[in-house]
Amino acid sequence: MFKGRHFDQSVILLCVRWYLAYSLSLRDLKEMMAERGICIDHSTIHRWAVHFSPILLKRFNRRKRSVSAKWHMDESYIKVRGRWMYLYRAIDSVGDTVEFWFSEQRDLAAAKRFLNKALARHGRPDRIVIDGSQTNREAIVSCDMASRLQARSRRNLTPIRIRQSKYRNNRIEQDHRRIKRRVQLMLGFQTYASARATLSGIEMIHMMRKRQARYVYNPNPSLAEQFAILAAAI
C-alpha cells in the first residue's frame, strides 16, 4: 500500500487523517508538517487523500457492523467546480451509516444504483423512511421488486414498507450536517473523481466516530488506532 512512497507511512496516514477529520486546509497541514521539519507540498497531501481514502474505506467495510432493519434515505447537495452534484445517503434507526453514493445526476437511475449497492451489502430492510421525493419512492419499489423476484425460488419476502414524511426524516437531515460541515471548509472540489474519493474518506471518518467497525483486540479504538489497523490489513 505504501511501497515506493517518498514519505514514511506514519506521515502519510497522519496527513490524510487530519485532513479528512478536522477543519484544516491543505495549506494548514503543510505548515504543521513544516513545524515538524517535514517539507510537503499541499498538492501532495491532496493526492494522498484522493488515493488512499477509497483504499482505507474498502478495508473499513470488511469490518463494518451490520445495521438495523429500518433505514432513513435522503440525498444532499455537494458543489463540484460550480456545479451541484448529489450525495445519496442512508442511515439506520440508531444513526449508523448504511451506505452512500455520490452521483452527478439526481434521477431514478442514480437512486436505484444507490439502493442496489445498499441492498447488496446489507440485505433487505423492513422499512425505509424518505421525504416527499417521488423518484426515491419509485426507486425503492423497483429495487424491492427486483430483489424479491431474484429470491422467489428460495422464500417469500415481505415488500419493503415505505414511510414518506418530510418530518420523520429529520434524523438523516441532522446526519448530513456533519458531512457538509467538513466539505464546506474544503472550499469546493475541482473534479468529480476527487470529490468522490474525498467524500468516501469523510464518510469513513464519520463511521469510525460512530464505532461502526469491529476490532478484535480493541473494542474502542481512537481514529489514529483505526487508521493504523486498516493500513496494516492485508
pLDDT of residue 227: 92
CATH number at residue 84: 3.30.420.10
Residue 227 lies in a domain: yes
Residue 204 lies in a domain: no
Query: Based on the domain organization, do 75 and 185 belong to the same domain?
Result: yes
Domain that holds residue 123: 70-190
Grid cell of 220 as nine digits: 474502542
Query: Based on the domain organization, do 158 and 177 belong to the same domain?
Result: yes
Query: Based on the domain organization, do 124 and 31 belong to the same domain?
Result: no
Name the percent of the chain in helix, strand, coil, to the closest 5.
50, 15, 35
As for how many domains the chain has, the answer is: 2
pLDDT of residue 33: 94
pLDDT (tens digit per residue) in 42-68: 999 999 999 999 999 999 999 999 999
pLDDT of residue 154: 55
Residue 41 lies in a domain: yes
Residue 200 lies in a domain: no
Query: Based on the domain organization, do 152 and 176 belong to the same domain?
Result: yes
Distance between CA atoms of 164 and 148, rounded to whole angstroms?
21
Grid cell of 121 as nine digits: 451489502
pLDDT of residue 219: 77
Query: Based on the domain organization, do 53 and 80 belong to the same domain?
Result: no
Distance between CA atoms of 228 and 204, rounded to whole angstroms?
14
Query: Based on the domain organization, do 106 and 172 belong to the same domain?
Result: yes
pLDDT of residue 96: 96
Residue 21 lies in a domain: yes
pLDDT (tens digit per residue) in 107-155: 999 999 999 999 999 999 999 999 988 999 999 999 998 887 776 655 6
pLDDT (tens digit per residue) in 70-115: 999 999 999 999 899 999 999 999 999 999 999 999 999 999 999 9
Query: Based on the domain organization, do 186 and 96 belong to the same domain?
Result: yes
| Amino acid identity, position 74 | D
Q: How far is CA 28 from the centre of its chain?
A: 24
pLDDT of residue 122: 93
Residue 114 lies in a domain: yes
pTM: predicted TM-score of the whole model, two decimal places = 0.91
Query: Based on the domain organization, do 173 and 82 belong to the same domain?
Result: yes
Query: Based on the domain organization, do 75 and 58 belong to the same domain?
Result: no
Using a pLDDT cut of 70, give the percent of the chain over it: 95
3-state secondary structure at position 16: helix
Residue 3 lies in a domain: no
Residue 1 lies in a domain: no
Which pLDDT band, with edges at 50, 70 and 90, does 157 fall under?
confident
* Measured CA distances, 66 to 73, 104, 173, 190 (Å): 17, 28, 22, 34
Query: Based on the domain organization, do 74 and 55 belong to the same domain?
Result: no
Query: Based on the domain organization, do 88 and 186 belong to the same domain?
Result: yes
Query: Based on the domain organization, do 112 and 140 belong to the same domain?
Result: yes
3-state secondary structure at position 36: coil
Q: Is the pLDDT of residue 2 over 80?
A: no
pLDDT of residue 1: 65
